[in-house]
């Protein structure tokens, strides 16, 4: 008996009910799918989804499709402009400005288009015109956070710190619901060195969008900068626990976490706590197996160097740096620690590893 015949016989006899049910299922779900269809609303939804998830090339295509059937859709036209500007490339800015102008011709009170015009102008280096556009948007709606942010940014770029601060402070005083503007304001505050204000804005951004790995990572970096090391470590660990995050975000969080812990390990090593240093380095190397500082420290059992050991170094004399002054803040405590570098040992054991991509470049000598 051939195999084919065996199979067909069995299907006929024993699998008939299952096949019938499967066919029924296919019909049910196919009917549901057909009912859904790809309507214009769905097209708009797909375009918006691409835009909100940062896939600007797809968004350009999808918004273009929407506008082909509905040229008066202001949302699609304005977001097409923003997608063009964000995607960049030759001719992107004029094309984006054209879209914003088209929207504003139809609806002069379109705050988004006016603000984005300002943002594109600012990127092109015209802060005065950017300020004018955002000022106009704010006259129409003083509570429109994006316009206030771009106005602040334009003033900062123009060197008007007081004016910029006024706008950013008003943004901080208003717990609005624009998560991206909170994040951007936080970055502006970091740039200005206003870390408490930046902390507040990051917390607000993450309250609105708790699972953004890039933002959580940025908050971790800020906490580390404020000397809140354990909170920073927690923040980076949370990024890594966010599940399938984007590879770049996960790698970034991993590097930051390892770097933050490695700093603590070096501090412990500098204070002669070799065991603590080794324990910290074990955590570091679990997070980032290529962390160079901890690999070096671990090879030496948590003891960074032996400056007086002539057998290990060929240097003329150990460094005897002057004693640093007493630290005045938690930050300076962290910073002054590495100011007494270990004298490098120049033996065969200390040959550096082959450089990876992204390691420091070679001199062109």
Partner 1 sequence: MVSLDGRATRPGRNPSKKFPDLRRPRRSARGFRLALAAMLAWLTLCALARPLLAASPQDPLIQAKKLFDKGRPAEAETLLAEILKREPADERVWALLGRVKIQTGERAGALEALRMALRLSPADTLTRMRLDMIADLAPEAAASHGRAEPAAKTPRPPSALERAAFEELGRAAADPEHVGCGATAPVVLDPLWTLVPDASQPPQPGPSFQPLQPDGDAALELSGLVAARLSASGVGVVLTRHGPYSVRLAERAALAEMSGGAYYLALAVTSESGQSDQSGKPPSPVSPIRVEALVLGPAAAKTPGAVSADAAFASNAARLAALAGPNDPVGQVAPIGPIGAFGQFGATGVMGGKPSAVERLHAQIRRAALEREGYALAARILARCRADGLAEPAQEKGAPVAGDVALLSAIDRPAVLLAVNIRPGPQQARREALEKLAASLAKCILEEGGRCP
Told to check if 276 binds partner 1 by CB under 8 A, we report no
Contact flag: residue 311 with partner 1 (CB under 8 A): no
Among positions 238-257, residues that touch partner 1 (CB under 8 A) are 245-246, 248-249, 251-253, 255-256
Q: Any contact of residue 167 with partner 1 (CB under 8 A)?
A: no
Among the residues of 37-73, which ranges form H helices? Answer: 40-52, 56-69
- Closer Cβ to partner 1, 86 or 278, answer by number: 86
From the list 61-69, 274-282, 314-322, the region that binds partner 1 by CB under 8 A is: 314-322
Which positions from 75 through 104 interact with partner 1, judged by CB under 8 A? 75, 78, 82-83, 85-86, 88
Residue 322 is a binding residue for partner 1 (CB under 8 A): yes
Give yes or no for residue 43 binding partner 1 (CB under 8 A): no
Name the CA dihedral angle for 265, 270, 274, 275, rounded to a multiple of 10 degrees. -40
Would you count residue 4 as binding partner 1 (CB under 8 A)? no
User: Which position among 72, 98, 141, 271 is part of the footprint of partner 1 (CB under 8 A)?
Assistant: 141
If the CB atoms of residues 128 and 292 are measured against partner 1, the closer one turns out to be 292
Integer-rounded Cα radius of gyration of the chain: 29
Q: Which residue of 126, 166, 237, 276 would you call a contact of partner 1, by CB under 8 A?
A: 166
The answer to whether 220 and 235 are in contact (CB under 8 A) is yes
Residue 25 makes contact with partner 1 by CB under 8 A: yes
Q: Does residue 339 interact with partner 1 by CB under 8 A? A: yes
**Closest CA relative to residue 121, chosen from 152, 155, 88, 97:** 97
Q: Is 298 among the residues that bind partner 1 (CB under 8 A)?
A: no
The piece of 62-70, 274-282, 354-362 that touches partner 1 (CB under 8 A) is: 354-362
For residue 307, CA distances in Å to 212, 299, 310, 320, 344 come to: 45, 16, 8, 10, 8
Cβ contacts of 307-310, under 8 Å, gap ≥ 24: 307/342, 307/343, 309/345
């Amino acid at each position: 008996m051939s195999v084919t015949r065996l199979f067909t016989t069995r299907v006929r006899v024993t699998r008939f009910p299952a096949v019938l049910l499967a066919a029924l299922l296919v019909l049910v779900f196919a009917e549901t799918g057909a009912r859904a269809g790809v309507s214009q609303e769905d097209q708009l939804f797909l375009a918006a989804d691409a835009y909100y998830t940062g896939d600007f090339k797809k968004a350009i295509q999808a918004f273009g499709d929407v506008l082909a059937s509905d040229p008066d859709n202001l949302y699609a036209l304005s977001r097409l402009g923003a997608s063009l500007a964000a995607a960049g490339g030759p001719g992107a800015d004029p094309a984006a400005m054209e879209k914003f102008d088209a929207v504003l011709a139809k609806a002069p009170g379109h705050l988004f288009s006016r603000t984005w015009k300002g943002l594109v102008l600012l990127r092109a280096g015209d802060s005065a015109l950017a300020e004018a556009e955002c000022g106009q948007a704010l006259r129409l709606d003083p509570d429109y956070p994006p316009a206030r942010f771009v106005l602040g940014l334009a003033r900062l770029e123009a060197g008007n710190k007081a004016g910029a601060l006024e706008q950013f402070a008003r943004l901080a005083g208003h717990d609005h619901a624009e998560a991206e503007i909170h994040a951007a304001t936080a970055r502006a505050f970091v740039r200005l060195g206003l870390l408490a204000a930046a902390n507040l804005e990051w917390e607000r951004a993450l309250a609105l969008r708790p699972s953004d790995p890039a933002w959580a990572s940025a908050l971790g970096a800020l906490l580390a900068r404020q000397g809140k090391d354990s909170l920073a470590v927690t923040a980076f660990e949370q990024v890594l626990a966010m599940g399938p995050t984007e590879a770049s975000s996960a790698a970034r969080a991993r590097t930051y976490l390892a770097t933050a812990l490695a700093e603590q390990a070096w501090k412990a090593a500098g204070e002669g706590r070799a065991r603590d240093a080794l324990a910290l380095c074990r955590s570091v190397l679990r997070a980032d197996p290529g962390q160079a500082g901890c690999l070096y420290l671990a090879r030496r059992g948590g003891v960074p160097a032996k400056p007086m050991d002539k057998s290990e170094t060929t240097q003329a004399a150990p460094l005897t740096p002057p004693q640093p002054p007493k630290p005045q803040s938690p930050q300076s405590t962290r910073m002054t620690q590495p100011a007494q570098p270990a004298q490098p040992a120049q033996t065969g054991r200390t040959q550096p590893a082959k450089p990876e991509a992204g390691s420091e470049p070679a001199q062109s000598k």
